[in-house]
Structure 1
Amino acid sequence: MKLIYTVIKIIILLLFLLLAVINTDAVTFSYLPGQKFDLPLIVVLFGAFVVGIIFGMFALFGRLLSLRGENGRLRAEVKKNARLTGKELTAPPAQNAPESAKQP
Protein backbone atom coordinates (compact mmCIF):
# COMPACT_ATOMS: atom_id res chain seq x y z
CA MET A 1 0.00 0.00 0.00
CA LYS A 2 2.88 2.33 0.80
CA LEU A 3 4.30 1.64 -2.65
CA ILE A 4 1.01 2.65 -4.28
CA TYR A 5 0.98 5.96 -2.37
CA THR A 6 4.58 6.61 -3.40
CA VAL A 7 3.79 5.93 -7.05
CA ILE A 8 0.74 8.23 -6.89
CA LYS A 9 2.83 10.99 -5.30
CA ILE A 10 5.49 10.65 -7.99
CA ILE A 11 2.85 10.84 -10.73
CA ILE A 12 1.33 13.97 -9.18
CA LEU A 13 4.78 15.54 -8.85
CA LEU A 14 5.51 14.81 -12.50
CA LEU A 15 2.18 16.36 -13.51
CA PHE A 16 3.02 19.52 -11.56
CA LEU A 17 6.46 19.65 -13.15
CA LEU A 18 4.86 19.27 -16.58
CA LEU A 19 2.45 22.08 -15.71
CA ALA A 20 5.39 24.26 -14.67
CA VAL A 21 7.27 23.59 -17.91
CA ILE A 22 4.21 24.32 -20.05
CA ASN A 23 3.24 27.57 -18.24
CA THR A 24 6.40 29.60 -18.61
CA ASP A 25 4.74 32.49 -20.46
CA ALA A 26 5.21 35.86 -18.78
CA VAL A 27 2.14 37.52 -17.30
CA THR A 28 1.86 40.98 -15.77
CA PHE A 29 1.20 40.87 -12.04
CA SER A 30 -0.11 44.16 -10.60
CA TYR A 31 -0.11 44.29 -6.80
CA LEU A 32 -0.44 48.07 -6.31
CA PRO A 33 -1.54 50.81 -8.70
CA GLY A 34 1.49 51.57 -10.83
CA GLN A 35 3.48 48.59 -9.50
CA LYS A 36 3.77 45.75 -11.99
CA PHE A 37 5.94 42.70 -12.40
CA ASP A 38 6.30 40.38 -15.35
CA LEU A 39 6.37 36.88 -13.88
CA PRO A 40 6.05 33.39 -15.33
CA LEU A 41 2.49 32.09 -15.06
CA ILE A 42 3.56 29.12 -12.92
CA VAL A 43 5.01 31.50 -10.30
CA VAL A 44 1.70 33.36 -10.09
CA LEU A 45 -0.24 30.07 -9.86
CA PHE A 46 2.09 28.70 -7.19
CA GLY A 47 1.85 31.96 -5.22
CA ALA A 48 -1.96 31.82 -5.31
CA PHE A 49 -1.80 28.20 -4.15
CA VAL A 50 0.46 29.06 -1.20
CA VAL A 51 -1.71 32.04 -0.19
CA GLY A 52 -4.78 29.77 -0.29
CA ILE A 53 -3.07 27.23 1.95
CA ILE A 54 -2.11 29.93 4.45
CA PHE A 55 -5.65 31.34 4.57
CA GLY A 56 -7.05 27.83 4.99
CA MET A 57 -4.70 27.13 7.89
CA PHE A 58 -5.74 30.35 9.62
CA ALA A 59 -9.41 29.53 9.05
CA LEU A 60 -9.05 26.10 10.66
CA PHE A 61 -6.72 27.14 13.49
CA GLY A 62 -9.52 28.51 15.70
CA ARG A 63 -11.56 25.35 15.27
CA LEU A 64 -8.52 23.23 16.14
CA LEU A 65 -7.96 25.14 19.37
CA SER A 66 -11.61 24.83 20.40
CA LEU A 67 -11.62 21.08 19.72
CA ARG A 68 -8.42 20.60 21.74
CA GLY A 69 -9.96 22.50 24.63
CA GLU A 70 -13.15 20.46 24.46
CA ASN A 71 -11.11 17.24 24.31
CA GLY A 72 -9.18 18.25 27.42
CA ARG A 73 -12.37 19.11 29.31
CA LEU A 74 -13.98 15.79 28.35
CA ARG A 75 -10.89 13.80 29.38
CA ALA A 76 -10.87 15.55 32.76
CA GLU A 77 -14.57 14.79 33.19
CA VAL A 78 -14.02 11.10 32.38
CA LYS A 79 -11.17 10.89 34.91
CA LYS A 80 -13.29 12.62 37.54
CA ASN A 81 -16.21 10.24 36.95
CA ALA A 82 -13.87 7.24 37.03
CA ARG A 83 -12.47 8.37 40.39
CA LEU A 84 -15.99 8.81 41.77
CA THR A 85 -17.09 5.34 40.69
CA GLY A 86 -13.78 3.69 41.58
CA LYS A 87 -13.49 1.97 38.21
CA GLU A 88 -10.22 1.61 36.37
CA LEU A 89 -10.08 3.33 32.99
CA THR A 90 -9.53 1.00 30.05
CA ALA A 91 -10.07 1.58 26.37
CA PRO A 92 -12.87 -0.46 24.79
CA PRO A 93 -11.85 -3.01 22.15
CA ALA A 94 -11.90 -1.81 18.57
CA GLN A 95 -15.02 -2.54 16.52
CA ASN A 96 -13.19 -4.39 13.76
CA ALA A 97 -10.50 -6.03 15.89
CA PRO A 98 -10.13 -9.83 15.73
CA GLU A 99 -11.78 -11.84 18.50
CA SER A 100 -8.42 -12.79 20.03
CA ALA A 101 -7.59 -9.11 20.55
CA LYS A 102 -10.96 -8.34 22.18
CA GLN A 103 -10.50 -10.77 25.09
CA PRO A 104 -8.03 -9.87 27.86
Structure 2
Amino acid sequence: MKSKLTLRLDEDLKERAKRLADRRGTSVSKIVKHYFKLLLREDASDASGEDASSNGGPTNGNQSGAVAEETTLSPRIQKLKEKLGKPAPEVNLDEDTRRWVEAAAKKHA
Protein backbone atom coordinates (compact mmCIF):
# COMPACT_ATOMS: atom_id res chain seq x y z
CA MET A 1 0.00 0.00 0.00
CA LYS A 2 1.31 3.44 -0.91
CA SER A 3 0.88 6.46 1.32
CA LYS A 4 1.69 10.14 0.99
CA LEU A 5 4.65 11.84 2.69
CA THR A 6 4.90 15.63 2.93
CA LEU A 7 8.35 17.20 2.87
CA ARG A 8 9.03 20.81 3.79
CA LEU A 9 11.84 22.30 1.71
CA ASP A 10 13.14 25.73 0.88
CA GLU A 11 11.68 26.91 -2.43
CA ASP A 12 15.13 26.97 -4.05
CA LEU A 13 15.87 23.39 -3.00
CA LYS A 14 12.47 22.24 -4.22
CA GLU A 15 13.04 23.80 -7.65
CA ARG A 16 16.52 22.32 -7.90
CA ALA A 17 15.12 18.88 -7.03
CA LYS A 18 12.49 19.26 -9.75
CA ARG A 19 15.15 20.19 -12.32
CA LEU A 20 17.26 17.20 -11.27
CA ALA A 21 14.28 14.89 -11.62
CA ASP A 22 13.52 16.34 -15.05
CA ARG A 23 17.12 15.83 -16.21
CA ARG A 24 17.00 12.22 -15.00
CA GLY A 25 13.62 11.59 -16.60
CA THR A 26 11.94 10.73 -13.32
CA SER A 27 10.02 12.40 -10.49
CA VAL A 28 11.12 13.91 -7.19
CA SER A 29 9.07 11.23 -5.43
CA LYS A 30 10.98 8.46 -7.19
CA ILE A 31 14.33 10.08 -6.36
CA VAL A 32 13.36 10.33 -2.68
CA LYS A 33 12.07 6.73 -2.72
CA HIS A 34 15.33 5.48 -4.28
CA TYR A 35 17.38 7.47 -1.77
CA PHE A 36 15.47 6.02 1.19
CA LYS A 37 15.94 2.51 -0.20
CA LEU A 38 19.68 3.10 -0.42
CA LEU A 39 19.79 4.51 3.12
CA LEU A 40 17.75 1.69 4.57
CA ARG A 41 19.81 -0.97 2.82
CA GLU A 42 22.97 0.64 4.22
CA ASP A 43 21.45 0.83 7.72
CA ALA A 44 20.39 -2.83 7.56
CA SER A 45 23.93 -3.92 6.73
CA ASP A 46 25.34 -1.72 9.53
CA ALA A 47 22.94 -3.31 12.03
CA SER A 48 23.86 -6.84 10.96
CA GLY A 49 27.58 -6.10 11.04
CA GLU A 50 27.96 -6.90 7.33
CA ASP A 51 29.82 -4.81 4.83
CA ALA A 52 27.19 -3.17 2.59
CA SER A 53 29.13 -4.26 -0.49
CA SER A 54 28.26 -7.89 0.28
CA ASN A 55 24.58 -7.24 -0.41
CA GLY A 56 24.95 -4.74 -3.22
CA GLY A 57 24.50 -1.67 -1.03
CA PRO A 58 26.65 1.44 -1.04
CA THR A 59 29.83 1.59 0.95
CA ASN A 60 32.21 4.29 1.99
CA GLY A 61 34.97 3.83 -0.56
CA ASN A 62 34.96 0.02 -0.58
CA GLN A 63 33.37 -0.24 -4.02
CA SER A 64 34.84 0.34 -7.42
CA GLY A 65 33.65 3.48 -9.20
CA ALA A 66 31.60 1.43 -11.67
CA VAL A 67 29.65 -0.36 -8.94
CA ALA A 68 29.07 2.86 -7.00
CA GLU A 69 27.85 4.53 -10.20
CA GLU A 70 25.27 1.76 -10.71
CA THR A 71 23.55 2.69 -7.45
CA THR A 72 23.30 6.39 -8.34
CA LEU A 73 21.87 6.14 -11.86
CA SER A 74 18.19 6.78 -12.36
CA PRO A 75 16.18 3.80 -13.59
CA ARG A 76 15.77 5.41 -17.01
CA ILE A 77 19.51 6.01 -17.42
CA GLN A 78 20.27 2.49 -16.12
CA LYS A 79 18.01 1.00 -18.83
CA LEU A 80 19.71 3.14 -21.48
CA LYS A 81 23.14 2.04 -20.27
CA GLU A 82 22.07 -1.62 -20.46
CA LYS A 83 20.79 -1.14 -24.03
CA LEU A 84 24.00 0.58 -25.13
CA GLY A 85 26.17 -2.20 -23.76
CA LYS A 86 29.90 -2.07 -23.24
CA PRO A 87 31.89 0.91 -24.56
CA ALA A 88 33.75 0.52 -27.82
CA PRO A 89 37.27 -0.87 -27.46
CA GLU A 90 40.24 1.46 -27.77
CA VAL A 91 41.24 1.89 -31.40
CA ASN A 92 44.77 2.58 -32.55
CA LEU A 93 44.60 5.24 -35.25
CA ASP A 94 47.38 6.33 -37.55
CA GLU A 95 48.54 9.94 -37.12
CA ASP A 96 46.54 11.35 -40.08
CA THR A 97 43.31 9.69 -38.94
CA ARG A 98 43.83 10.83 -35.35
CA ARG A 99 44.30 14.46 -36.48
CA TRP A 100 41.19 14.21 -38.68
CA VAL A 101 39.13 12.87 -35.76
CA GLU A 102 40.41 15.64 -33.45
CA ALA A 103 39.62 18.33 -36.07
CA ALA A 104 36.12 16.92 -36.59
CA ALA A 105 35.53 16.80 -32.84
CA LYS A 106 36.61 20.45 -32.48
CA LYS A 107 34.47 21.55 -35.42
CA HIS A 108 31.34 19.84 -34.09
CA ALA A 109 31.85 20.51 -30.37
TM-score higher than 0.5 here? Answer: no
Higher alpha-carbon Rg: 1
Larger relative contact order (C-alpha < 8 A, sep ≥ 6)?
A: 2
Q: State the TM-score, normalized to the length of structure 1.
A: 0.31
Q: State the TM-score, normalized to the length of structure 2.
A: 0.30
